[in-house]
């Protein structure tokens, strides 16, 4: 009873301040009294309450990151609303709780990307959890897409796509690929690109990576020709015809030997340099493989460059130690530590502009 009253209270005020127009909801009605998975693209923190209100008439459960259950108050709220805690990797409790939802013919909402997708240019990359659960329990998946981020008093459209039936696919990977293709295809012509400010539109001259792994961050230790030691984020100039994400991945591999997947532009700052002024972008990167070492890049092999610019050494550094060492740009490090303390390695924030700094403190010539 309390959970129902909580739903009613949510519905009244939520619909007033976050209006949502649903399209093709009749797809969900085909599965009345049957278990179904709703796979959604993730825009912001309003996505959960939004789908909660849209399928008000059904018993809804959804996967929530375990960190949101740490505080007792929120643990009670999430459980009342149908939240199921998700740990890193698969867990028996997750499958047990998920099976319980399906046994009761409930609806399970999942955000299969694992992180937020803000703009129209960002590709949706599906993780395998939703497909694995659908395949294991033979439950159909309905892709559900929103056209843009939910904002106060701005209309958002939510579209229900045609269902995907797991029995039509031999493997989890094939099912996951179909879900990814269907979500990407569904956004074409439906998604509304956000209005961008001038500083967001201009191309970046330099790209750098923020690579986090087990509480450590990938950095380049620099000792300049004056003997001063400081640390910079790996990266360099974007080559002609190269997109920024690919440039960041290439530069990190060339400079550190570490393979990464750049998936989110997190910070942007302006720099001044003898080689020209411009923007430099910092991308959050997912670690793939490799350990930092001196490669065959010219920074390590060309004596003339070493004489002019000093030495470089790639290494992992405990992220908590960043405030104890000299990092460039320092303002970015302060913001990064603040965000890390709040969100951990997720760092799934909209693009943030930082005040620019001199190239000799923020820009490694490459």
**Which of the pair, 102 or 186, is modelled with greater confidence?**
102
- DSSP character string of 33-60: TS-EEEEE---STTHHHHHHHHTTTS-E
Contact 232, 332 (CB under 8 A): no
DSSP assignment letter at 12: H
- pLDDT confidence band for 279 (50 / 70 / 90): confident
- Mean pLDDT, residues 221-234 taken together: 93
Q: Please indicate, yes or no, whether residues 267 and 178 belong to a single structural domain of this protein.
A: no
- Mean pLDDT, residues 110-116 taken together: 78
Residues 6+ apart with CB under 8 A from 97: 61, 84
**Average pLDDT score, the chain:** 83
Q: Please indicate, yes or no, whether residues 300 and 155 belong to a single structural domain of this protein.
A: no
**Rounded CA Rg of the chain:** 23
Contact 101, 95 (CB under 8 A): no
Query: Percent of the chain having pLDDT more than 70?
Result: 83
Res 6 pLDDT > 90: no
Q: Please indicate, yes or no, whether residues 215 and 317 belong to a single structural domain of this protein.
A: yes
Task: Flag whether 328 is in a domain.
Answer: yes
Q: Please indicate, yes or no, whether residues 210 and 240 belong to a single structural domain of this protein.
A: yes
For the record, the structure tokens of 323 come out as 């405030």
Q: Please indicate, yes or no, whether residues 212 and 350 belong to a single structural domain of this protein.
A: yes
Query: Percent of the chain having pLDDT more than 90?
Result: 39
User: Of the candidates 128, 161, 187, which is a domain's last residue?
Assistant: 187
Task: Flag whether 2 is in a domain.
Answer: no
pLDDT of residue 58: 87
Contact 38, 50 (CB under 8 A): no
User: Of the candidates 152, 187, 222, which is a domain's last residue?
Assistant: 187
Give the pLDDT confidence of 327-360 residue by residue, as tens digits: 988 888 988 988 888 777 666 555 565 654 443 3
Give the pLDDT confidence of 48-90 residue by residue, as tens digits: 888 888 887 888 998 888 877 888 888 887 887 788 888 766 5
Res 264 pLDDT > 60: yes
**d(C-alpha 265, C-alpha 235), whole Å:** 13
Task: Flag whether 123 is in a domain.
Answer: yes
Q: Please indicate, yes or no, whether residues 166 and 231 belong to a single structural domain of this protein.
A: no
Q: Please indicate, yes or no, whether residues 121 and 261 belong to a single structural domain of this protein.
A: no
Q: Please indicate, yes or no, whether residues 170 and 209 belong to a single structural domain of this protein.
A: no
Q: Minimal CA–CA distance to 109: which of 37, 3, 54, 194?
A: 37
Question: Considering its fold, how many domains does the chain have in total?
Answer: 2
Q: Residue 329, preceding bond cis, omega within 30 degrees?
A: yes
Q: Please indicate, yes or no, whether residues 243 and 329 belong to a single structural domain of this protein.
A: yes
Res 105 pLDDT > 50: yes
Task: Flag whether 197 is in a domain.
Answer: no
Res 314 pLDDT > 60: yes
Res 34 pLDDT > 70: yes
- pLDDT confidence band for 125 (50 / 70 / 90): low
**d(C-alpha 236, C-alpha 233), whole Å:** 9
Q: Please indicate, yes or no, whether residues 297 and 225 belong to a single structural domain of this protein.
A: yes
pLDDT of residue 68: 78
Res 203 pLDDT > 70: yes
> What residue numbers bound the domain in which 167 lies?
10-187
pLDDT of residue 5: 72
pLDDT of residue 229: 95
- Mean pLDDT, residues 201-223 taken together: 89
- pLDDT confidence band for 258 (50 / 70 / 90): very high
Q: How far is the CA of 159 from the CAs of 21, 25, 74, 129, 169, in angstroms?
A: 9, 7, 29, 22, 24
**Which of the pair, 272 or 274, is modelled with greater confidence?**
272
Res 169 pLDDT > 80: yes
**β-pair partners for 220:** 232, 314
Task: Flag whether 3 is in a domain.
Answer: no
Burial class (CB in 10 A: 0-12, 13-18, 19+), 285: buried
- Mean pLDDT, residues 163-188 taken together: 91
- pLDDT confidence band for 118 (50 / 70 / 90): very low
**Which of the pair, 198 or 182, is modelled with greater confidence?**
182
- pLDDT confidence band for 362 (50 / 70 / 90): very low
pLDDT of residue 275: 62
| Lowest-confidence pick of 19-23, 114-118, 301-305 | 114-118
**Which of the pair, 349 or 162, is modelled with greater confidence?**
162
For the record, the structure tokens of 289 come out as 């493989």
Q: Please indicate, yes or no, whether residues 209 and 127 belong to a single structural domain of this protein.
A: no
Task: Flag whether 332 is in a domain.
Answer: yes
pLDDT of residue 197: 60
For the record, the structure tokens of 81 come out as 């609303």
**Domain CATH code at residue 333:** 3.90.79.10
**Domain CATH code at residue 93:** 3.40.1130.10
Res 121 pLDDT > 50: no
User: Of the candidates 187, 221, 247, which is a domain's last residue?
Assistant: 187
Q: Please indicate, yes or no, whether residues 180 and 219 belong to a single structural domain of this protein.
A: no
Task: Flag whether 5 is in a domain.
Answer: no
- Mean pLDDT, residues 172-194 taken together: 84
Task: Flag whether 145 is in a domain.
Answer: yes
């Amino acid at each position: 009873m309390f959970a129902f009253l909580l739903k009613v209270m949510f519905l009244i005020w939520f619909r007033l301040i976050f209006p949502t127009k649903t399209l093709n909801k009749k797809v969900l009605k085909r599965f009345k009294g049957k278990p179904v998975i709703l796979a959604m693209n993730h825009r912001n923190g309003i996505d959960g309450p939004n789908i909660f209100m849209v399928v008000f008439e059904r018993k809804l459960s959804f996967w929530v990151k375990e960190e949101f259950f740490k505080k007792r108050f929120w643990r009670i709220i999430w459980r009342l609303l149908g939240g199921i805690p998700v740990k890193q990797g698969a867990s028996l409790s997750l499958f047990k709780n998920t099976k319980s939802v399906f046994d009761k013919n409930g609806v399970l909402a999942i955000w299969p990307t694992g992180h937020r997708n803000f703009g129209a240019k960002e590709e949706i990359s599906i993780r395998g959890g939703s497909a694995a659960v659908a395949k294991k329990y033979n439950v159909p998946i309905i892709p559900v897409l929103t056209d843009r981020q939910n904002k106060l008093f701005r209309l958002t459209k939510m579209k229900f796509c045609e269902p995907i039936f797991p029995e039509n696919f031999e493997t989890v990977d094939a099912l996951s690929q179909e879900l990814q293709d269907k979500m990407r295809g569904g956004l074409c012509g439906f998604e509304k690109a956000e209005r961008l400010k001038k500083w967001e539109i201009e191309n970046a001259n330099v790209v750098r990576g923020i690579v986090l792994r087990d509480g450590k961050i990938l950095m380049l230790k620099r000792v300049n020709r004056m003997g001063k030691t400081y640390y910079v984020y790996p990266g360099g100039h974007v080559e002609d015809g190269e997109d920024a994400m690919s440039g960041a991945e290439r530069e990190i591999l060339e400079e550190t030997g570490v393979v990464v997947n750049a998936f989110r532009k997190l910070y942007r700052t302006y720099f001044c340099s003898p080689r020209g002024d411009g923007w430099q972008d910092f991308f959050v990167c997912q670690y793939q493989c490799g350990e930092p070492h001196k490669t065959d890049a010219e920074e390590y092999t060309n004596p003339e460059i070493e004489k002019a610019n000093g030495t470089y050494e790639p290494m992992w550094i405990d992220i908590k130690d960043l405030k104890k060492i000299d990092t460039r740009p320092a303002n970015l490090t302060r913001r990064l530590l603040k965000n890390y303390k709040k969100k951990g390695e997720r760092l799934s924030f909209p693009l943030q502009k930082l005040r620019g700094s001199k190239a000799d403190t923020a820009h490694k010539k490459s």
